[in-house]
Amino acid sequence: MITLQGVSKQYYMGEVVINALDYVNLSIERGEFISIMGPSGSGKSTLLNILGVLDLPTEGSYFLEGVDITHLDDRELARIRNRHFGFIFQSYNLFPELNALENVMVPLTYAGRPKSERIKRAKELLDMVAMSHRLKHFPNQLSGGEQQRVAIARALANNPTLLLADEPTGNLASDQSDEIMELLCDLNHKGTTIVIVTHDPHISSFGKRLVRLQDGKIVSDTPVEEQVDAERRSGA
Ligand SMILES: Nc1ncnc2c1ncn2[C@@H]1O[C@H](COP(=O)(O)OP(=O)(O)OP(=O)(O)O)[C@@H](O)[C@H]1O
Ligand SMILES: [Mg+2]
């Protein structure tokens, strides 16, 4: 689905060059659930932003379904972003002046669907993340875990090819973060491809594949042997 080939990202700070990513090769197949770990500053968010086409590499190629997208213009990139990617952030990033239902309707509005259909679809999405009982609540009237569930519903609104999450449980207590991770596992079983950045080894073990970054380089890329989810399903 996605292949990064020799992807580097440099930031220029006056005279200083920062190699945030240094010749990264990475392929992602449909249905995968990948955790990205690494020390602070190792390039995790940079990699996630490039995967989600929020940012472009300085060097290297990004193939999406076989097409190198690094030469496309901003409009085409925006279209690809809206069509293929859903984002979840540590700070939820909900619109504070919109209630839960309205937040989930935002991406559907961009997609130009009629209002009745948008409401119906947003309700289905909120039902999927067990938030049907809080449709009219504003973000400041919801718990952190509830806000993140709304954010996940919003990220799924346009059926993204890939769901990207940067420290999605970073602000949550452990019981709430497990709930969020179980929700992501569930979505992955239903077919959503997921890439998540985390500092937490417990969180990373919900994934099926673990990529470790250090100094902008991939230093390991292995299957997760003791998947939390697999343990649970086998009744352990
Ligand atoms: N816009 C920018 N301008 C200059 N340098 C940047 C910029 N964004 C990131 N960097 C630098 O690039 C490197 C990688 O940053 P990145 O945010 O990807 O790290 P990270 O692994 O996500 O860290 P953390 O775990 O702290 O979130 C860091 O050294 C950072 O200081
Ligand atoms: Mg980061």
Question: Which ligand has the nearest atom to the CA of 47?
Answer: 1
Question: Which ligand has the nearest atom to the CA of 39?
Answer: 1
Tokens linked to 9: 């990202």
Average model confidence (pLDDT) for the chain?
92
The protein residue with its alpha carbon nearest to ligand 1, atom 2, reads 11
166/35 Cα distance (integer angstroms) = 10
The protein residue with its alpha carbon nearest to ligand 1, atom 29, reads 41
Distance 233 CA to ligand 2 centre (A): 31
183/177 Cα distance (integer angstroms) = 10
Asked whether 94 and 151 are in contact (CB, 8 A), the reply is yes
Tokens linked to 121: 């679809």
The better pLDDT of the pair 231, 130 is held by 130
Distance 135 CA to ligand 2 centre (A): 31
Question: pLDDT band for position 231 (50/70/90)?
Answer: low
Among positive and negative, which fits the CA dihedral 34, 234, 228, 127? positive
The protein residue with its alpha carbon nearest to ligand 1, atom 28, reads 41
Distance 94 CA to ligand 2 centre (A): 19
Distance 175 CA to ligand 2 centre (A): 23
Q: What is the pLDDT of residue 204?
A: 94
In this predicted model, what pLDDT tens digit does every residue of 32-71 receive, in sequence order?
Answer: 999 999 999 999 999 999 999 999 999 999 999 999 999 9
The continuous run of DSSP H or E covering 166 comes out as: strand 162-166
Q: What is the pLDDT of residue 202?
A: 93
Q: What is the pLDDT of residue 83?
A: 87
Q: What is the pLDDT of residue 111?
A: 66
**If DSSP codes are grouped into helix, strand and coil, which group holds residue 43?**
coil
**If DSSP codes are grouped into helix, strand and coil, which group holds residue 211?**
strand
In this prediction the pTM is 0.91
The protein residue with its alpha carbon nearest to ligand 1, atom 17, reads 45
Question: pLDDT band for position 235 (50/70/90)?
Answer: very low
Distance 228 CA to ligand 2 centre (A): 24
4/41 Cα distance (integer angstroms) = 20
Q: What is the pLDDT of residue 236?
A: 44
Q: What is the pLDDT of residue 233?
A: 53
| Number of domains the chain contains | 1
User: β-strands 16-28, 2-13: how paired?
Assistant: antiparallel
Question: pLDDT band for position 229 (50/70/90)?
Answer: low
Tokens linked to 21: 């990513």
pLDDT at 158 over 50: yes
Mean pLDDT across the stretch 206-221? 97
The continuous run of DSSP H or E covering 128 comes out as: helix 115-128
Residue partners of 133: CB distance under 8 A and separation at least 6: none
Percent of the chain with pLDDT over 70: 96
pLDDT at 108 over 70: yes
Distance 154 CA to ligand 2 centre (A): 21
Q: What is the pLDDT of residue 173?
A: 87
In this predicted model, what pLDDT tens digit does every residue of 186-198 receive, in sequence order?
Answer: 999 999 999 999 9
Least confident of 85-89, 220-224, 230-234: 230-234
Q: What is the pLDDT of residue 38?
A: 96
Per the structure, the complete domain to which residue 176 belongs is given by 2-233
Mean pLDDT across the stretch 20-28? 98
Q: What is the CATH number of the domain that holds 77?
A: 3.40.50.300
Ligand 1 pocket test target in 10, 11, 24, 219 with most atoms within 8 Å of CB: 11
78/83 Cα distance (integer angstroms) = 9
Residue partners of 95: CB distance under 8 A and separation at least 6: 102, 103, 106, 139
Question: Which ligand has the nearest atom to the CA of 38?
Answer: 1
Mean pLDDT across the stretch 129-150? 95
What residues are in contact with ligand 1 under a 6 Å CB criterion?
A: 11, 13, 18, 20, 38, 40-46
The protein residue with its alpha carbon nearest to ligand 1, atom 3, reads 11
Asked whether 46 and 21 are in contact (CB, 8 A), the reply is yes
Q: How many residues does the chain have?
A: 236
